[in-house]
Structure 1
Amino acid sequence: MPFMPVTDSMFLLVESREHPMHVGGLQLFKKPEGAGPDYLSELRRGLLAEENIRTAFRRRPARPVNTLGYTSWATDAELDLDYHFRHSALPQPGRIRELLELTSRWHSTLLDRHRPLWEIHLIEGLRDGRFAMYSKIHHALMDGVSALRHLQGTLSNDPAARDCPPPWGSRLSQDAKQNGRAPVSVFKSAGKALGQVAGLAPAAYRVAGEAFREHTLTLPMQAPKTMLNVPIGGARRFAAQSWPLERVRAIAKSTGMSRNDVVLAMCSGALRDYLIEQRALPDVPLVAMVPVSMRKRSDSGEAAGNNIGALLCNLGTDKADPADRLKVINRSMQDGKRIFSGLTPLQALLLSGINVAQLGISTIPGVVNNTRPPFNIVISNVPGPRDQLYWNGAALDGIYPASVLLDGQALNFTLTSNAGNLDFGITGCRRSVPHLQRLLTHLDTALAELEQATRS
């Protein structure tokens, strides 16, 4: 049985009814020209006949019920695809509103640990003629970056292609890739890791010096307590919308800052307006945890597991001027990146273990209510496809990530680039974050204000 790394088993250990630990995504597609009324039924029937199944999609915990922890994976030789790949229809009138309500319910439910930890729903009934697909996979199997890369690996840039694999397959099987690669010695790999760990103490000393002597880094436990940092329930709300990437790119170019800085400023402005609306804006700035992928650009979509670091960013929500908030964000991110640039991936991963600590500590009763949050919100910007992609002739029209929430972290922004758009997915605790959809309006307002502030 394959060994389960601690970074993966952790997501199974902390999962509960209130804390489903799967990542998800909602994709929208335009049907190919000439698609008939049975298009989706025929598409599903053809995909179910495919036998190329990635190893990760056959894995389930060897011990479905936690006793002494999760240490290994079992492989499901008789995968029941009819269970995992489902065909659903929206209630009338088939608006995006109904689609998001359905996605919210699906994203709230736990995956069955006696089966491989994923589900995919093919959805028809949108009144504009498009169809959707909602997928979710346990964080123990894939992080958000590897899940998106896998999705891209099943798509094509050729609208005429009809040989795209199903979402649980791939154009090149993982086993074939591994068989073509020379095996790496466990001892060699362990020795390399130990060498990096040995350098952790001086790296930590340098980080501490930067933080305490020069006061440039945003540190854990500096974040204010807000209405978003409370114990959560298991029910979720999900909202999604797209904005033209060119608008963000233009602001970045005119200010000399990164596109991610502009995205963080959008989120900062939206959070400020939302909290003012709720009469809950603190006097000190909110702090965002910004995940940073430690995967190399050369890593293919076959990569699974988890390999994520984290930076803390001052969002400048105490400042009314959008341009001032953008400057604060840029300075905070530059300081964090400068420290990380001198570390090996493993050292950066260990020193950014804020999210690991949060996962373990936030589930202890009383911790969230009696301590300051290490950060207020998670904001993830995951690179997506640069060109228009197709799935068996259907044009990909939107990718909206749905993420994990934790006690003390009732709201999450995750976005991805998709050809000429930025696609935002907002996940919130249904009980703790009222009127979640208002954040979409505030994001739109924040982008317009940034355009005006940086134009003058």
Structure 2
Amino acid sequence: MPLMPVTDSMFLMVETREHPMHVGGLQLFRKPEGAGEDYLRDLRRSLLESDNMRSVFRMRPSRPVNTVGHVRWSRDTDLELDYHFRHSALPQPGRIRELLELTSRWHSTLLDRHRPLWETHLIEGLRDGRFAVYSKIHHALMDGVSALRHLQGTLSDDPADLDCPPPWGSREKPATNRNGRASTSPFALVGKTFEQVAGIAPAAAKVAREAFREHRLTLPMQAPKTMLNVPIGGARRFAAQSWPLDRVREVATAAGVSRNDVVLAMCSGALRDYLIEQSALPDAPLVAMVPVSLRRRDSGDATGNNIGALLCNLATDLTDPAARLAAISESMSNGKKLFSQLSPLQTLLLSGINVAQLGASPIPGFVGNTRPPFNLVISNVPGPRKQMYWNGAALDGIYPASVLLDGQALNITLTSNGDNLDFGVTGCRRSVPHLQRILTHLDTALAELEFATRV
């Protein structure tokens, strides 16, 4: 049984009914031409009969050690696949609205720790003839980047490829031990930990020196208190929509900024309009935490957690969309510049400083009596660059559903998908009313950016 990395253990320790710690995703597919009425039933049967399963999908936490929590993973040798893989149908009239409501309920429930920490739902009944797949997996096993990498590994760019692996399978045998993670001896783990601890002091000094030398750098505790930064309940709302990548690319080219800067400006404009609509826009600009993957692009790793955290000034106090975009681009450039000057350990340390306050959020009264470290998380995860298929079915959309914490009632995560950008918006059902309005405001914000940057 492999030892559980500290990051994985922490995701399990902080989980409560109000704070499910899984990441999820909703995929939309168009059935292949000529698919009959039994297409989905036959697909499910064939997937249940497959013996292709990545070992990470057999991992479940071992029994906790007193109050320390889980320290080891164990392997489920008798996994009930039909428990984890479920077939459901939408209520009539089978609109996207019904699909998102069902996804919202599934994303609100905890995973069973007595079993491997994942579920996949095959969904039929959409009135346009498409079908959907909603999957969720505990953050202790995969972060959003690794989950999307895994998904892409099950897809094909060939519509005639009818031998794609199931959502829990793989095309290649992972280069890990049979429990799903690279084997690490306790002695090697202790040695590595000692090496990291020894480097913390000089790393901390450099981070502090570099961070405070750059006066324009966005730091924790600069975010205003908003209606989004309150204690949350366990129920979720989920909304999703796609926009053409070309529209974002054209704005980026015209303004001389990155596509991610334009995405952040879309979110900034949408949040500004949404909060004005709720009579809740603060005078100070909102601050977003922007996760940055620390994996090498060629690493091929699709498990675990390896994420840095930048803070970005969203400039929601500015009325001009072009000025907001410029301020966001400057803020992101400053953060990226600092990250580029740091070692991996120092990058993790700075990221830890940026999110450290979240560790105290479960303390009663803490969220209500302190300023938030940032107002929300906005994450842009790279996805497939061309049209993809799964056993002949064309992928129409990938909509990420993410984690919320006390004081962080809203999350916006998007991914590229061929010619589109697919947005998933996750919110606390109690704290973020009319969540779907954010989609309307995202569309308005993009149109305003196009007009503002038009030559």
TM-score (norm: length of structure 2)? 0.95
CA drift of 1:209 comes to 3.0
CA drift of 1:448 comes to 0.3
Say if 2:51 is the partner of 1:54. Answer: no
| Greater displacement, 192-201 / 205-214 | 192-201
Kindly report which structure 2 residues correspond to 1:29-40, keeping only aligned pairs within 5 A, or say none. Answer: 29-40=29-40
Q: Which residue of 1 aligns with 2:264?
A: 264
Contact 1:197 1:347 in 2 (8 A): no
Q: Which residue of 1 aligns with 2:117?
A: 117
| Greater displacement, 336-345 / 385-394 | 336-345
Say if 2:448 is the partner of 1:449. Answer: yes
Deviation string 1:70-100 (CA, Å, 9 cap, x unpaired) is 1001100011000000000000000000000
Q: Which residue of 1 aligns with 2:309?
A: 310
CA separation in 2, counterparts of 1:81 and 1:270? 41
Q: Which amino acid aligns with 1:155?
A: L
Contact 1:196 1:344 in 2 (8 A): no
Q: Which residue of 2 aligns with 1:331?
A: 330
Kindly report which structure 2 residues correspond to 1:133-282, keeping only aligned pairs within 5 A, or say none. Answer: 133-175=133-175, 198-282=198-282
Kindly report which structure 2 residues correspond to 1:326-365, keeping only aligned pairs within 5 A, or say none. Answer: 326-354=325-353, 357-365=356-364
Tell me, what secondary structure is at the counterpart of 2:265? helix
CA drift of 1:346 comes to 2.8
In structure 2, the CA distance between the partners of 1:383 and 1:250, relative to structure 1 (3 Å rule), is same
Q: Which amino acid aligns with 2:434?
A: H
Q: Which residue of 2 aligns with 1:290?
A: 290
In structure 2, the CA distance between the partners of 1:205 and 1:381, relative to structure 1 (3 Å rule), is same
Tell me, what secondary structure is at the counterpart of 2:317? coil
Q: Which residue of 2 aligns with 1:106?
A: 106
Q: Which residue of 2 aligns with 1:84?
A: 84
| Greater displacement, 425-434 / 357-366 | 357-366
Count of residues in correspondence between the two structures: 454
Contact 2:412 2:425 in 1 (8 A): yes
User: Structure 1: where are the runs of 5+ without partners?
Assistant: none
Contact 1:310 1:354 in 2 (8 A): no
CA separation in 1, counterparts of 2:360 and 2:443? 35
Contact 1:210 1:216 in 2 (8 A): no
Q: Which amino acid aligns with 2:240?
A: A
| Greater displacement, 283-292 / 182-191 | 182-191
Q: Which amino acid aligns with 1:350?
A: L
| Greater displacement, 92-101 / 168-177 | 168-177
CA drift of 1:199 comes to 4.5
Deviation string 1:354-399 (CA, Å, 9 cap, x unpaired) is 4652442111111101110000000000000001110000011000
Tell me, what secondary structure is at the counterpart of 1:353? helix
Contact 1:143 1:305 in 2 (8 A): yes
Q: Which amino acid aligns with 2:118?
A: W
Q: Which amino acid aligns with 2:153?
A: G
| Greater displacement, 411-420 / 170-179 | 170-179
CA drift of 1:195 comes to 5.2
Contact 1:52 1:173 in 2 (8 A): no
Q: Which residue of 1 aligns with 2:438?
A: 439
CA drift of 1:192 comes to 6.5
CA drift of 1:174 comes to 1.4
Q: Which residue of 1 aligns with 2:43?
A: 43
| Greater displacement, 443-452 / 347-356 | 347-356
In structure 2, the CA distance between the partners of 1:193 and 1:176, relative to structure 1 (3 Å rule), is closer
| Greater displacement, 357-366 / 251-260 | 357-366
Tell me, what secondary structure is at the counterpart of 1:450? helix
Contact 2:203 2:345 in 1 (8 A): no
Q: Which amino acid aligns with 2:218?
A: T
Deviation string 1:206-253 (CA, Å, 9 cap, x unpaired) is 432343343121010110000000000000000000000000011111
| Greater displacement, 23-32 / 46-55 | 46-55
In structure 2, the CA distance between the partners of 1:66 and 1:332, relative to structure 1 (3 Å rule), is farther
Contact 2:251 2:449 in 1 (8 A): yes
CA separation in 2, counterparts of 1:177 and 1:231? 40
Contact 2:55 2:178 in 1 (8 A): no
CA drift of 1:285 comes to 0.3
CA separation in 2, counterparts of 1:213 and 1:67? 41
Deviation string 1:316-357 (CA, Å, 9 cap, x unpaired) is 000000011111111111111111112222321122014652
CA drift of 1:183 comes to 8.0
In structure 2, the CA distance between the partners of 1:65 and 1:205, relative to structure 1 (3 Å rule), is closer
Q: Which amino acid aligns with 2:426?
A: T
Q: Which residue of 1 aligns with 2:63?
A: 63
Percent identity of equivalent pairs: 79
| Greater displacement, 234-243 / 336-345 | 336-345
CA separation in 2, counterparts of 1:176 and 1:285? 46
CA separation in 1, counterparts of 2:68 and 2:202? 35
CA separation in 2, counterparts of 1:339 and 1:194? 26
Tell me, what secondary structure is at the counterpart of 1:48? helix
Contact 2:292 2:307 in 1 (8 A): yes
CA separation in 2, counterparts of 1:77 and 1:21? 24
TM-score (norm: length of structure 1)? 0.95
Contact 1:413 1:427 in 2 (8 A): yes
Tell me, what secondary structure is at the counterpart of 1:152? helix
Tell me, what secondary structure is at the counterpart of 1:455? coil
CA drift of 1:440 comes to 0.2
| Greater displacement, 170-179 / 382-391 | 170-179
CA drift of 1:184 comes to 8.2
CA separation in 2, counterparts of 1:51 and 1:383? 29
Deviation string 1:405-437 (CA, Å, 9 cap, x unpaired) is 000000000000000000000000000000000
| Greater displacement, 184-193 / 428-437 | 184-193
CA drift of 1:68 comes to 2.9
Q: Which amino acid aligns with 1:105?
A: R
Structure 1 residue ranges, 4+ long, deviating more than 6 angstroms after superposition? 176-179, 181-190
Tell me, what secondary structure is at the counterpart of 2:453? helix
